[in-house]
Structure 1
């Protein structure tokens, strides 16, 4: 009987440890320079859904796309290396002119944020006016968050080259069609 109880306790322990979600932690380092875009008169304080603090400015920022595969509570810790940072978490796109749109949470220092599985835009910003430095967040949660830089938006000269290339291809197609008919 004792042997059966030990085996049952061992099996229950294994089932509980297998069901517990692992905690994943990763570091998100970034640097801000005076060539980065600026938030005109606001930065982020801690809050969920959002706490956008309007004062001073400008504040440099950088965008990072984050993919969350597992819903749950994620802990964001500002590592202060050496500057003070703030972070906005957006579901979908970020528009600097309308900072409350798509905002899920804002982080200054440390904050627990509940995230659903999906793709987010992290707005990594300085906390002090016109501060350029190196910053770092440690993000801990039920699964790893995958980071990537957002796809660049073509400039006007790049759009002109794309249009020119399409016109050349269209012109070549017309020339080939005329030669076939002749």
Structure 2
């Protein structure tokens, strides 16, 4: 009888066993959001010049702006050193911002891009509508081996083309890929622990009973 009860309790414990696996979300590896001047742009935009000292992988980007009405935005990652676009997104629609309110417009997640040392990248957004982008002229401290050295101007939304550079430091956010989830760790729920306690207590009582009858 006890053996049958023991088997049932063990089965119940297994049924209540939970697998603990915490997910991990993507994190910003670089963020600069000045509260200084604002420059108005239309049918173009300003990309931040970025360099890294160690290989750095990104999977999304964002830039802070104030849009006076609903706008179409494209996101760009450009290898400025060799003049090639590594990523130009499809248009993404963002609603109008409240007057004087600057919000980060973020891209969809894209295939990982690894920024390499010794290369200058131009990263940011261009707009089909009217918006203002925040900037400052002072230095920006490096974060996670990533530095911002200035800007380039993109003249056309339809055919992105860099036409000039400057020393201003515009807002930017670089987002790394999500870290892999940790390996599952088998754990017991509260009810499983209670059943395990009952099982151990029953086993101890049966052992004592057998010793007394012996």
Q: TM-score normalised to the size of structure 2?
A: 0.30
Which protein has the bigger strand share?
2
Which protein has the bigger helix share?
1
